[in-house]
Amino acid sequence: MVKHEKVANEVSIGFDIGISSVGWSVLDCHSGDVLETGVSIFSGANGDNNKERRSARQARRLLRRRQERVKDLRRLLVEYHFLNREDEKLDINNQYELRVKGLNNQLNDDEIAAVLLQIVKHRGISYDLGDLDDEDTAGTAFKESINHNRRELKDKTPGQIQYARLNKYHQVRGDFTVTEDNKTISLRNIYPTAAYVDEARQILNYQKQFNAKVNNDFINHVLQIIARKREYFKGPGSEKSRTDYGIYKTDGRNLDNLFEELIGKDKFYPDEYRAAASSYTAQLFNLLNDLNNLRITTTEDGHLTKEHKTVIIDKLLHTSRLSGGMLGLIAKVTGTSKNEIRGYRVDAKNKPDIQSMAVYRTVHNKLLDSGIDINEWPHELLDKIAFIMTLNTEPGEIRKQLMARVADYAEITPTVIDTLVTNHTAFDVKTNNQWHRFSLKLMNELIPEMLNTSKEQSTILNERGLIKKEKGLVTAADKIDINKITDDIYNPVVTKSIREALKIFNVLVQKYPNIIYTVVEMPRESNEDEQKKKIANFQKNNAKTKDAALNEFMAMANLNHAQLDAKLRQFKHLYTKIRLWYEQEDRDPYLGTPIDAVELATNPFAYEIDHIIPRTVSFDSRLSNEVVCASDANRVKGKRTPYEFMRDTASKHQSFEAMCAWIRSNKRLSYAKKKNLEFMDDLNSIEVRKRFISRNLVDTRYASRVILNGLQSYANESKHHNKMKVTVIRGQFTSWLRKKWNIPKSRETHHHHAVDATLIASTPLLSLWRKEQVNVLIPQKVNSELVDVATGEILEDDEYKQLTTLPFQDNFANTVRHLENSGRIKFHHQVDKKMNRQISDATIYSTRYAQLVKDKQATEYVVAKIKDIYTLDGWKNFKKIYDKDKSKFIMAQKDPQTFAKLEAVIKEYPTKEEIVLTNNKVKEVDVSPFELYRRDNGYITKYAKKNNGPKVVQVKYYDKKLGNHVDVTPKQAKNKHVVLQSLKPWRTDVYYNSENDKYEIMGIKYSDLQFIKGAYGISQKHYNELKTKEQIASNSEFVFSLYRNDRIKVMNDQNESVELLFGSRTKANKGYVELKPITQFGFIDTQSIPLYGKASNGRAIKPLAKTGWKIWKVNTDELGNPFYIAKESDKPQNIIVEN
């Protein structure tokens, strides 16, 4: 471990934590000097990768279970003498026909075996088709096809339906559409297992009269194999083969339901399970918490009384529908209007999100239809039923658990159980949070106080001393315990980012003993793709609105582009005024009068930009908190809200009610701006001020709270850093500082992360916080609702601008502006050395030997296919191959008669068609000639004497010659060869040949690695084979290994040098590697690279080093300090010597 010399300065540390980066900066608190700064780049965790892995695992599991079913059935067929041996092959290819025949005609032994093997192999889905009604597929082709199958199953077996479709449409499996009576019908081969079981039963019961081997025991065994399915809630393992991943635990315990252990425990009562979110108690608790968070301007203390809450609860328990929603009910009970109710959450559609006992009311209504009134049931019983319904989804298991757990209640009868099982979906919660974070025990303790007071849950928990600061976060070396912090964060993306940041923090706390502030900014998105998409959408929408605003303004102000450009250069903030003018539909929100475009363009003093909620309260400088209004009105409004201004001032302004009516009619105003304009709370209220701070300044999201509270706990426990103050701020505040201090931001390189971190580190040093010694940036504690901070007076906007500066403002801002090009920013890249990774892409490729026109002899080709020749893309691919070399089509060589049918269609049908657009204009567009043929005649079919061959949709062809691959051909396969391609590189070993003064490289792929003797590595034998293949000289000496993102320094014979990142060894050319820049994601187009020349399409694939050049491997510590290595060791690592 590298030891850093201690620096005694009092410092502020800033962290800009991103999805795949951490910018950090250390600032001297007194001089403002940037002592050091850097960026750590790593591959962001991505939850979608887990989904892909789970899907692949599920596919393997399904295949394995299908194979086991077939094996068990074959064993049974041998036992009953239908087959001679288990691996016997049946020369039967008309199973669909036999399944229909077997319902009313005798089948021989081979035919019975063939029918049963097909059914057991393709036995459908385990649930009823009616269950799909619960999915969000209303009106879709999927649901229509499912309903079509349900109708046909009423009087037909799956085999009868499938055989009819095979004869009529030449297709059974997959999804396809057909046209009948000018109506398009979507067909899918989806049927429930129960239908297949019933079909097998009908066939066997009929065959029983002809075949003595088909007895009741045989039938029962067959049906059990077809229907066999391990209950999902049991998990793997059995009584004899125990595993902690199932209900049969290795410690001897047998659980009823695997998921009972996965529910989790209440953190305040660790022995208590978390309650079901659909339980009566959980719904009541959430309702009271939401009601206590509300602020109502017409009540005495701004909160609901106990009487109000009691009436609301009673109304909900006895009301089937809420016609006016929760806001309407609350307004009616309190005798106020909806506009005077504040403090509620909003959902994704910006609608009020207040607990309404929705699950309870749904269950109540459903059971009332059967004459059962749950209002008369004890709440304890309702909670137990909700637990059972949430834990189980199978009707049979629900019935079993109801009988076992609640049958002793007088209210529970066999009829009631039947009704509950029938209506079990009524207990479904519409969110992903199926379980409450608290136990029933804790909620029952808190509910009485929540009913009698206006306290929300966090306040009560804190007052009772249940919320304790976490201890034990400091290690013996006075560092923070990273694992204990990240254990409470369940998002893998955020967890990885925080781990990387805390690694840097642990180095800095050792180097800087006098850390006064630590400030963190967290990422907003959950993965890199989401972040890029959000930025792109924002820029696109912003550009669209900008163009619309400027075009409308030019028309209204009678200006051309040149004149407008001149005005924008002449008057500061004119563009922002135009943007706001456009959003406001050329209306002054305070006066209610039109804003004249000509005057706005010519008189800079007529209209001003006003912050709707004063910035000293809201800390919000976004457009959503700005309007353009008459200068006089702005001066009179001062540091008040629009509501306070219109309520207290006798002037020419419009009424608050009129403004609200205008707001509702305006389609251009954002939801956030509408809420700011309609804001009615008292700005002098401490609680109101805290809410604005938590919304716009201090980040109160869950992951942010975890890292904030963790760092605060560390500061309290640390021997040397107990004076450190910690906060987590929102990006919008530092973004505003960038704009105010004129510090541009470029995302083209990684430097901006360090610049952002420097701005973040400066925020607690602003003069604003020093006024009256009040620093609202530093919270005492943070919970999910509020941030606990001290608050100061409300300032005028001009004073706020003056105070958002630093004591060393000019020098600091100038330093930050030039930081990107100063060479002071250090970079650390995560090196990927992990061995247990995917060796290739997941596609298994088939290969065949073929001799094409260009070949002198037969060569092994990878087989590819065109998925659908009837689509335009499919036709274009077909045409491209056909024009170049039609012998590449396997059909042309193996089935020339069918291929001749395709060629006939190409000659007969055009590749263009005319379509009528919505404006009645005719346009000529490209089309597949195969599609035109299909419209006239149906699908092209394979050649057959009776012209009844299967339809042709896909066409296979010889693609590329087989290159590097992994052979995955099964041992029992004959005349077949299947491979994996796109082999992924793991490491490149670099050797130096002193005789010719050259470096030699050899690449090792993930597919070269093995698990030998309890460890991953490459065998010595295979390594030597690769060395020989890569032509590494016997006298060359090993110098170092390079992994992806290792840093290297290369110097030519003229002593010119460059530092780059190593990507991987390319397989195309010997000695060639891919190199990447250190300070950005990739090279830009044909960017020039010192020593190596120009990049090509943003990539640099070059020889690693020429004769006479020198290479150093560059290791960096967490802070990005470089350490240059000419020779790493005498021999490479991870070489396993086999005996």
Q: Annotated catalytic sites, by residue?
A: 16, 611
> CA 407 to CA 413: how far, in whole Å?
7
525 is annotated as contributing to ligand binding: yes
Nearest to 247 by CA among 231, 225, 228: 231
Chain Cα centroid distance, residue 1071: 39
Are the C-beta atoms of 996 and 1107 separated by less than 8 Å? Answer: yes
What values do phi and psi take at 536, rounded to 5?
-65, -45
End-to-end distance of the chain based on CA atoms, in angstroms? 36
716: tokens are 């309290």
111 is annotated as contributing to ligand binding: no
Are the C-beta atoms of 690 and 787 separated by less than 8 Å? Answer: yes
Helix (H) or strand (E) holding 957: strand 955-961
In sequence order, which residues have a C-beta less than 8 Å from that of residue 51 and are 6 or more positions away?
A: none
Taken in order 919, 923, 925, 931, the sign of the CA dihedral is: positive
Q: What are the DSSP E strand ranges found in 302-396?
A: 341-342, 345-346, 352-353
Are the C-beta atoms of 248 and 237 separated by less than 8 Å? Answer: yes
**Total Cβ atoms within 10 A of residue 972:** 7
Are the C-beta atoms of 757 and 14 separated by less than 8 Å? Answer: yes
> CA 245 to CA 452: how far, in whole Å?
45
> CA 663 to CA 671: how far, in whole Å?
10
Exposure letters 572-590 (e unless 16+ CB within 10 A, then b): eebbebbbbbbbbebbbbb
In sequence order, which residues have a C-beta less than 8 Å from that of residue 282 and are 6 or more positions away?
A: 275, 276, 386, 436, 438, 440, 443
Alpha helices in 697-794 (DSSP H): 702-717, 731-740, 751-762, 767-770
Give whole-number Cα distances, 1125 to 487, 817, 1054, 1114, in Å: 36, 34, 20, 6
**Total Cβ atoms within 10 A of residue 308:** 18
> CA 346 to CA 352: how far, in whole Å?
5
Are the C-beta atoms of 33 and 514 separated by less than 8 Å? Answer: no
**Total Cβ atoms within 10 A of residue 1132:** 19
Q: What are the DSSP E strand ranges found in 572-639?
A: 607-611, 626-630
Give whole-number Cα distances, 585 to 557, 567, 578, 631, 679, in Å: 14, 21, 10, 18, 21
β-pairing, 1010-1012 vs 1015-1019, is antiparallel
Helix (H) or strand (E) holding 203: helix 193-207
167: tokens are 């004869």
753 is annotated as contributing to ligand binding: yes
Binding region = 16, 521, 525, 753
Binding region for Mg(2+) = 16, 521, 525, 753
